[in-house]
Structure 1
Amino acid sequence: MRYRKLGGSGLNVSVIGLGSWLTYGTATEAETAEACIRRAYELGVNFFDTANAYNRGAAEEVMGRVLADYPRESCVIATKVYFPMGEGPNDRGLSRKHIMEQCEASLRRLGTDYIDLYQCHRYDPETPLEETLRALDDLQAQGKILYAGVSEWSAAQIADAVGIADRLGLRKLVSNQPIYNMLVRYIEKEVVPVSLREGIGQVVFSPLAQGILSGKYKPGSPIPAESRASDERTNLWIKSYLRDDVLSCVEKLVRLAEETGCTPTQFALAWVLGRPGISSAIVGASRTAQVEENAAAADLNLSADVLKKADAILEELRGFLPIW
Structure 2
Amino acid sequence: GARGGQGGSADGGAGAVNAGPGSPAERGETDTLTDELYDHDSDWDVVDAALRVARRRGVEPVQVALAWLLSRPAVVAPVVGFTKVGQMDAAAASVDLVLGDDECAELEAPYRPHAVRGWLGGAVRLPGISS
TM bracket, shorter-chain basis? 0.5 to 0.7
1: CA distance between counterparts of 2:117 and 2:47?
A: 18
Unaligned runs of 5+ in 2: 119-131
CA separation of 1:272 and 1:321: change in aligned 2, threshold 3 A: farther
Residue 66 of structure 2 contacts residue 91 of structure 2 at CA under 8 Å; is this kept in 1?
Answer: yes
Query: Residue 310 in 1 paired to residue 104 in 2?
Result: no
Question: Which of the two has higher C-alpha Rg?
Answer: 1
Query: What letter corresponds to residue 77 of structure 2 in structure 1?
Result: S
2: CA distance between counterparts of 1:261 and 1:245?
A: 24
Residue 45 of structure 2 contacts residue 110 of structure 2 at CA under 8 Å; is this kept in 1?
Answer: no
Task: Give the counterpart of 2:3 among 213, 219, 228.
Answer: 219
Q: Deviations over 1:224-257 (max 9, x none)?
A: 4135567542767754323444224312321122
CA separation of 1:289 and 1:322: change in aligned 2, threshold 3 A: farther
Corresponding residue for residue 233 of structure 1: 24
TM-score, length of structure 1 as denominator length: 0.27
Q: Which has the higher contact order (CA 8 A, sep 6+)?
A: 2
1: CA distance between counterparts of 2:60 and 2:96?
A: 13
Q: How does 1:1-324 map to 2 (within 5 A)?
A: 219=3, 224-225=9-10, 226-228=12-14, 231=18, 232-233=23-24, 238-239=34-35, 240-314=37-111, 317=112, 319-321=113-115
SS in 1 for 2:59: coil
Q: Deviations over 1:138-180 (max 9, x none)?
A: xxxxxxxxxxxxxxxxxxxxxxxxxxxxxxxxxxxxxxxxxxx
CA separation of 1:322 and 1:291: change in aligned 2, threshold 3 A: farther
Higher percent of residues as strand:
1
Percentage of matched positions with identical amino acids: 26
User: What is the aligned residue count?
Assistant: 104
Unaligned runs of 5+ in 1: 1-217
2: CA distance between counterparts of 1:321 and 1:291?
A: 31
Q: Deviations over 1:183-203 (max 9, x none)?
A: xxxxxxxxxxxxxxxxxxxxx
Query: What letter corresponds to residue 288 of structure 1 in structure 2?
Result: V
**Cα RMSD for the two superposed structures:** 3.3
CA separation of 1:238 and 1:289: change in aligned 2, threshold 3 A: farther
Q: Deviations over 1:283-316 (max 9, x none)?
A: 00111111111111111111112112222232xx
Residue 273 of structure 1 contacts residue 281 of structure 1 at CA under 8 Å; is this kept in 2?
Answer: yes
